[in-house]
């Protein structure tokens, strides 16, 4: 039987969204028998006091033995995952709770799959080392429960089956792709994003928009993912600037948090494309954050893509607020989208050129050679790219 056209829609086991959703964490932990959690977070979240109400909520639910790991770098590294797992084993934890941005969540996801050999586990479980898990579907069954609460809006990592880590040995970002990384529960609570600083709101918000747009354009977009992509585009275009300018605006924060989740559902299944492929080398070599490196490449890659699927750019333009009176057509849709992207990036103060980040012009060749290796992403892109094409886009973005 030919099953090649069957599509599997993957997401976290449960999704909780909306204001005060974080106060249902204890209930969810109870369901998964987590009594000794390891909370994976970062210093920024810890110092801003974002997790204090969560800790109070856990203690009032008689969860007293709480371990916290907050030594997370801006871009998650393999060494960080190993250090975090050491704390998990040392404190005999029985569940991983990520409360943070994409770095904390990606770290937590990787920590949760490093199973500890124990009598309580099935006999075929074995100690696995991180290096063996890079690639697709190499992860043995996860036995540690995993709950993710994003504090940014966001990477969508709370609903995807990928963990991207920086290997400091070769300065390369590598991905673990496995359905074992899908969290048991994703709790997307806008109250956790209120203290997110404007620069992070901007970068992670544009990243979420990139997820929505790239998943819509992806060769693997489906009837399930396409409406999700458009809905996320609509919500982010409407609320990003407000969330950036008015950090305490809970409605805008809720729109952004939910939209980031919806974009995550779309790209977690349809994939992302050339924006991400060209952004990753910037993170690896220049340590630009994931969101900023995507934002800087966004409009330039869209200009390249627009020629291959102008009809899809009309849909995106309308989701971004273009008039529906027929004035937007195959020849004007992409210009509207590109201008809107530039306008949004300007409103949230993200530069649009590589030179503004002190990237050396002579490095563009190396960056292109690195980007072309991201075949996992490039194969989703609506228009094919050679290494020369990539170099030309970096030149334009310079």
DSSP H/E element including 185: strand 185-188
Minimum gap (Å) between residue 20 Cβ and Zn ion: 27
Using the minimum distance from each CB to Zn ion, give the nearer residue, 23 or 220. Answer: 220
Is 75 one of the binding residues for Zn ion (CB under 5 A)?
no
Residue nearest Zn ion, CB atom distance = 207
Q: Give bridge partners of residue 136 from the DSSP assignment.
A: 177
Minimum gap (Å) between residue 164 Cβ and Zn ion: 9
Using the minimum distance from each CB to Zn ion, give the nearer residue, 42 or 207. Answer: 207
Minimum gap (Å) between residue 35 Cβ and Zn ion: 34
Minimum gap (Å) between residue 317 Cβ and Zn ion: 22
End-to-end CA distance of the chain: 50
Minimum gap (Å) between residue 393 Cβ and Zn ion: 17
Region of 85-93, 177-185, 204-212, 311-319 interacting with Zn ion (CB under 5 A): 204-212
Minimum gap (Å) between residue 207 Cβ and Zn ion: 4
Region of 45-53, 199-207, 228-236, 356-364 interacting with Zn ion (CB under 5 A): 199-207
Using the minimum distance from each CB to Zn ion, give the nearer residue, 54 or 295. Answer: 295
List the structure tokens of 151.
């504090």
Torsion sign (Cα): 123, 124, 129, 135: negative
Among 207, 214, 254, 315, binds Zn ion (CB under 5 A): 207
Using the minimum distance from each CB to Zn ion, give the nearer residue, 158 or 207. Answer: 207
Residues 49/252/316/326 CA torsion (nearest 10 deg) = -170
Applying CB under 5 A, the site for Zn ion has a residue count of 1
Q: Is 133 left (phi over 0), alpha (psi -120 to 50) or beta?
A: alpha
Closest CA to 143 of 118, 174, 168: 118
Q: Which residues from 335-364 bind Zn ion, rule CB under 5 A?
A: none
Closest CA to 275 of 210, 364, 335, 358: 210
Closest CA to 178 of 142, 138, 124: 138
Q: Quick check: 240 and 256 in contact, CB under 8 A? A: yes
Which residues are near Zn ion by CB under 5 A? 207
């Amino acid at each position: 039987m030919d099953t090649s056209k069957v599509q599997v829609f993957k997401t976290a086991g449960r999704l909780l969204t909306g204001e005060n959703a974080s106060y249902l964490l204890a209930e969810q932990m109870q369901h998964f028998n987590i009594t000794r959690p390891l909370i994976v977070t970062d210093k920024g979240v810890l110092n801003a006091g974002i997790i204090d109400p969560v800790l109070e909520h856990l203690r009032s639910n008689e969860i007293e033995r709480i371990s916290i790991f907050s030594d997370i770098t801006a871009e998650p590294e393999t060494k960080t995952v190993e250090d975090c797992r050491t704390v998990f084993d040392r404190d005999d934890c029985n569940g991983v709770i990520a409360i943070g941005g994409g770095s904390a969540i990606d770290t937590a996801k990787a920590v949760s799959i490093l199973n500890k050999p124990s009598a309580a586990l099935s006999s075929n479980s074995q100690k696995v080392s991180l290096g063996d898990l890079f690639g697709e579907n190499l992860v043995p069954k996860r036995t540690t429960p995993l709950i993710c609460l994003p504090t940014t809006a966001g990477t969508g990592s709370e609903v995807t089956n990928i963990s991207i880590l920086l290997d400091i040995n070769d300065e390369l970002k590598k991905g673990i792709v496995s359905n074992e990384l899908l969290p048991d529960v994703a709790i997307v609570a806008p109250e956790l994003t209120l203290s997110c600083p404007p620069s992070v709101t901007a970068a992670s918000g544009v990243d979420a928009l990139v997820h929505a747009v790239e998943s819509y354009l992806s060769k693997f977009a489906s009837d399930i993912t396409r409406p999700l992509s458009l809905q996320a585009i609509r919500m982010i275009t409407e609320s990003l600037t407000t969330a950036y300018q008015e950090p305490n605006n809970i409605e805008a924060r809720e729109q952004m948090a939910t939209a980031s989740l919806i974009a995550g559902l779309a790209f977690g299944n349809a994939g992302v494309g050339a924006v991400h492929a060209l952004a990753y080398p910037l993170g690896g070599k220049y340590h630009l954050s994931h969101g900023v490196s995507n934002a800087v490449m966004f409009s330039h890659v869209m200009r390249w893509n627009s020629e291959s699927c102008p009809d899809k750019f009309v849909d995106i333009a309308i989701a971004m607020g273009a008039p529906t009176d027929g004035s937007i057509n195959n020849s004007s849709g992409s210009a509207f989208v590109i201008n809107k992207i530039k306008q949004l990036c300007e409103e949230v103060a993200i530069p649009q050129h590589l030179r503004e980040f002190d990237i050396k012009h002579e490095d563009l060749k190396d960056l292109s050679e690195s980007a072309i290796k991201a075949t996992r992403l490039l194969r989703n892109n609506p228009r094919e790219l050679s290494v020369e094409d990539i170099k030309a886009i970096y030149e334009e973005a310079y």
